[in-house]
Amino acid sequence: MATEKKGRKSLNNYMCESVYTAIAVNLHKHKSTRQAILWFIEKSDTFKSLASGDLHNKIIQDCENNTADKLLNYQDRSMHDPDDMKEEMIELGYYCYEPESGEPFTKEDVEGMKVERDRIILEIGRVKPTDDQGDTSTGFSDKAYKQIWRMCETYEKYCLATDFKYGGGPLPLNIVKNN
């Protein structure tokens, strides 16, 4: 994946942060992190967007609208001449710019986003319907639960590695410290 610069975090961290935030905001309504994650799987709009690929698709589409031949919705046109940007993209081998941060991506980066999206959709797709008896007492697939858990864990590790503090304070799910 492209290196991280100003603006939005890498796509993986961005997705993990979206999941983490949706669970953390509702943590106080549940007795445990596990119950909050299971609520997220069953009832969250963020989970539905993740499961359908919509979270990834928006970012991928925004990037693909900013290829050298288009530059349709690049946010910082006042500081950068689109013709100069197009030349630079071709010269440096960039496929597109992410519109919010201006982060350059190669074609391989965008293809990696699609692979990641498909992998997450596959994992999330393993969630069994709530009326279906699963292997766990909740009726949910352990693989889907573990996928969401890993995304939260990845986000906490990112925060700890970069000294980033969730909402200016401690990480409320406390997954990394519990392992």
128 lies in a domain?
yes
pLDDT of residue 3: 40
Element (H, E) at 96: strand 96-97
Nearest Cα to Cα of residue 99 among 117, 77, 79, 119:
77
1 lies in a domain?
no
Nearest Cα to Cα of residue 47 among 151, 152, 124, 113:
124
156 lies in a domain?
yes
Helix (H, G, I), strand (E, B) or coil at 82: helix
Residue 138 has pLDDT above 50, yes or no: no
Residue 168 has pLDDT above 80, yes or no: no
82 lies in a domain?
yes
17 backbone dihedrals φ, ψ, rounded to 5°: -65, -40
The helix-helix angle for 11-25 and 45-52 (nearest 10°) equals: 150
Contact 2, 144 (CB under 8 A): no
Range among 52-56, 70-74, 100-104, 130-134 with highest mean pLDDT value: 52-56
Four-point Cα dihedral 51, 52, 58, 60, nearest 10: 80
pLDDT of residue 75: 57
5 lies in a domain?
no
pLDDT of residue 141: 61
> In this structure, what token pair is assigned to residue 102?
């201006």
53 lies in a domain?
yes
Please give the tally of structural domains in the chain.
Answer: 1
> In this structure, what token pair is assigned to residue 119?
């992998």
79 or 88, greater pLDDT: 88
Q: Where in the sequence is the domain holding 75, given as residue range(s)?
A: 14-178
46 lies in a domain?
yes
Element (H, E) at 144: helix 142-161
pTM of the model: 0.65
Contact 41, 144 (CB under 8 A): yes
173 lies in a domain?
yes
Residue written as token pair 């925004």? 62
Confidence of residue 101 (pLDDT cuts 50, 70, 90): confident
